[in-house]
């Protein structure tokens, strides 16, 4: 279903580009050109109607593709796909620091002979 909607979407996009390029240029940008404000709106041509129909179809297929993509990915995140499902085994043979397992603080002075002050 997704492939059919995608193909229709691409055909609509290419048709819309072609129809827009076939239309007569009215000059100027943002409605500044043409006959001026006194003449009113120009009559709607057949190409303008076709453009509107193709644009409506393009928007509908865009929304349909968005809905299809949302249903496909429901319940999963992109981060879920990137993180590995199994964790690497922990290496217990790593050397430990003085003062106990994983401790960054030296042991108290009474437990190790090297750290106790010598009595003269």
For the chain, the farthest-separated pair of C-alpha atoms sits apart, in whole angstroms, at 113
> Does the residue 82 lie in any domain?
no
> Does the residue 30 lie in any domain?
no
Q: Is the pLDDT of residue 61 over 80?
A: yes
The total of structural domains in the chain comes to 1
> Does the residue 6 lie in any domain?
yes
Encoded tokens for 36: 């001026």
Element (H, E) at 14: helix 2-22
The fraction of the chain above a pLDDT of 70, given in percent, is 52
> Does the residue 87 lie in any domain?
no
- Residue 24 has what pLDDT? 83
Residue of 89 and 60 predicted with greater confidence: 60
DSSP state of 113: T
- Residue 97 has what pLDDT? 55
> Does the residue 52 lie in any domain?
yes
Q: Is the pLDDT of residue 92 over 70?
A: no
Note down the domain range covering 63: 1-24+45-72
Q: Say which residues have a Cβ less than 8 Å from residue 116's Cβ, sequence separation at least 6.
A: 109, 110
> Does the residue 113 lie in any domain?
no
Collapsing DSSP to helix, strand or coil, 62 comes out as helix
Encoded tokens for 29: 């940008």
Computed over every residue of the chain, the mean pLDDT equals 76
């Amino acid at each position: 279903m997704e492939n059919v909607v995608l193909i229709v979407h691409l055909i609509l996009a290419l048709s819309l580009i072609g129809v827009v390029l076939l239309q007569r240029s009215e000059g100027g940008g943002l409605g500044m050109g043409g006959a001026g404000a006194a003449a009113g709106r120009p009559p709607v041509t057949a190409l303008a109607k076709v453009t509107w129909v193709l644009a409506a179809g393009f928007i509908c297929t865009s929304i349909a593709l968005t809905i299809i993509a949302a249903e496909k990915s429901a319940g999963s995140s992109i981060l879920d796909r990137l993180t590995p499902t199994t964790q690497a085994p922990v290496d217990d043979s790593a050397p430990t620091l003085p003062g106990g397992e994983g401790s960054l603080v030296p042991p108290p002075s009474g437990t190790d002979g090297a750290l106790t002050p010598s009595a003269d």
